[in-house]
Chains A and B, each alone.
Chain A
């Protein structure tokens, strides 16, 4: 029998990998998008685990919403990246700092 804590440990590991991916990654924005997906996956895992062990279906329904929103987000994110590449010829993180004060 797999215990609840095993799921939670797994999702924390995935979450931390995603987080570390965002911070450490210095190459391009697609990597950041993928890391965000990892974080979302970790959250989803948590939801489902709690839902199963707490016998409450609401958590699983919530995951559906998150998956839908994440799909939309990826679609928009990739579209933005495509446009950005077309306009600036690069999607490197180091050059996308025009927001600085």
Chain B
């Protein structure tokens, strides 16, 4: 099996290196063939691994392959841990990545950086694989940083655009904040457990109970620091600011990195660390609250956005919030379940948005779209399916996963779980509202496309539509098929630990009969009616009476202002961190650099030597008799002193 795992991880890397180094010589066709072949191999083998581990209950594979470095008694190795959680992640990542690779052929068709782009996304796939397959914290961190790096490169892929450069810098810096916390968390794990290996660390988790650190419980500090890392990567409030900006990158990577895979790394990581998080109710509560805030408030922002990709980006933030809430209430399997369904339907929505963008010659403003339904039937239908999955229409993938999250929060008895329940419930209304608003404005109603583009408008090519169709299938059925085994059939049991005091999933299990029963039962649940409410209001405001939307906008100016300024996070960051660091820099430059170092230390020592010289110089007159005088007088003094000191014994 080791060879299979190695092939899964290394195939995209080899593709990336070959195309990255020799892309210009290979040409476009060969370049995309090589990288797609690499990812296709990984996808097939991932499915095989999934079958082997999840369906046939193979034992957990946990082996160190290579010693990366040895520091004192600490062994840092490259190792693989393949259990059911890893298998699920491998399938999701490789499948979405493969779809995005194929899609890129059509999307980046006219771009100069065609081969470079393929090299980058293959590199990303490799990095994501190393992250999910790792058996120790250090390799996890390596993958973590590597996906961050590729994300940075790809957000700034169109580096001639100033906004893209700003966005990738922002993404990089905000992620540094998260990674700093994450690294501290890893350091504390090493401090308490003396090892970075997952299995070894988790096996001695009991010895951290009761220890204190900085006046708090040690395990809480460790978990919160690890979660700060997850907040950065998975874009939770207040470290979410980079994700909307990341939409400056080409759409395929928005789908792959900033919706389906990389941003879910935080969710994956917390699930992987479930043995630690389960020990700290405080940490879980913080996770849940942050998630609930993100789920509700980032969804609200989706309503006022007019850029097609940004609407989907805020939707991603909101859905990541849902996953985080699920983590907070110890429903790790539900979080992973939503991660999986979300990966499919959100990748689909992004790629569909990209399809629209390509068809409209890189127009992203939804106010200049409309009525595309007839011109782009495949894109329309797949978007519709993706949207239905996203809003949780009964039967679709998102319905099961989101419903389970909401139910899990409902059953949780953590403090403030009631508030989180309200937040995620309102979130359903908002999700339905902004998703359908997007769908209606883009595909329904009167066309607002300018006449010149309208003439050439047609469905996009097969390399774009085929991935859409292939992603639409799991978006519809994956929830129905996998809810039972994944949440209640013990698929993830060998990877996830749930403390007996956290009963949310057990309660869920008690109320669950079958996926079909859930479907028929849905009409009497609050989330269903929230969803219907959101859908109807979207219809009213976008299609039935669009003028009402304007009236509401002018009636609630202040709310509108708050939403349009994105709650002021950007301004706060600008004032406190950007301007603050410039001011701090100026202060340090003036005081420590200019004054202390330049004036006092460097020029000061030179001046001191000069003043001393000026002071002493007159002693040297140049007259020989002065020198002789001093010599003799000093000689006499020395001799006299010797005489006195020796009590005249000099004379015997």
Contacts and interface: CB of A to CB of B under 8 A. Distances in A.
Interface string B625-652: 1001100100000000000000000000
A99 B623 CA distance: 8
A68 to B, nearest CB: 23
A99 B619 CA distance: 12
A100 B621 contact: yes
B622 A99 contact: yes
A93 B624 contact: yes
A98 B622 CA distance: 6
B625 A100 contact: no
B625 A93 contact: yes
Nearest to A39: B632
B625 A22 contact: yes
B622 A23 contact: no
Contacts of B558: none
A23 B618 CA distance: 19
A100 B632 CA distance: 19
A98 B621 CA distance: 9
B628 A22 contact: yes
A94 B625 CA distance: 11
Contacts of A98: 622
Contacts of B623: 93, 96-97, 100
A41 interface: no
B621 A23 contact: no
A23 B624 contact: no
Contact of A23 (B616, B619, B620, B628): B628
Interface string A22-66: 110100010010000000000000000000000000000000000
A32 B624 contact: yes
Interface in A78-101: 93, 96-101
Contacts of B545: none
A99 B625 contact: no
A84 to B, nearest CB: 12
B112 interface: no
A43 to B, nearest CB: 13
B630 to A, nearest CB: 11
B617 interface: yes
Contact of A101 (B617, B628, B632): B617
Contacts of B629: 22-23
Contacts of B619: 101
Interface residues of B, number: 13
Contacts of A97: 621-623
Interface in A2-36: 19, 22-23, 25, 29, 32
A99 to B, nearest CB: 4
A23 B625 contact: yes
Given A23-B625, A93-B625, A99 B620 contact: yes
A2 to B, nearest CB: 21
Contacts of A25: 625
Contacts of A93: 623-625
Interface string B595-626: 00000000000000000000011111111110
A36 to B, nearest CB: 9
Contacts of B625: 22-23, 25, 32, 93
Which one of B616, B619, B625, B632 has the greatest number of beta carbons of chain A within 10 Å? B625
B620 A19 contact: no
Contacts of A100: 620-623
A99 B617 CA distance: 11
A96 B621 CA distance: 10
Q: Which of B616, B617, B622, B629 has the most CB of A within 10 A?
A: B622
Contacts of A29: 624
Contacts of A99: 620, 622
A19 B631 CA distance: 12
B627 to A, nearest CB: 9
A78 to B, nearest CB: 16
A22 B622 CA distance: 15
A97 B617 CA distance: 14
A66 to B, nearest CB: 18
A32 B623 CA distance: 12
Interface centre among A96, A98, A99 (most CB of B within 10 A): A99
B620 A96 contact: no
A97 B627 CA distance: 11
B274 to A, nearest CB: 80
Contacts of A22: 625, 628-629
B629 to A, nearest CB: 6
B624 to A, nearest CB: 7
A23 B629 CA distance: 7
Pairs A-B, 5 closest by C-beta atoms = A100-B622, A97-B622, A101-B620, A101-B617, A99-B622
Given A19-B632, A23-B628, A101-B619, 12 more contacts: A23-B625, A25-B625, A32-B624, A93-B624, A97-B621, A97-B623, A98-B622, A99-B622, A100-B620, A100-B621, A101-B618, A101-B622
25 contacts: A22-B625, A22-B628, A22-B629, A23-B625, A23-B629, A29-B624, A93-B623, A93-B624, A93-B625, A96-B622, A96-B623, A96-B624, A97-B621, A97-B622, A98-B622, A99-B620, A99-B622, A100-B620, A100-B621, A100-B623, A101-B616, A101-B617, A101-B619, A101-B620, A101-B622
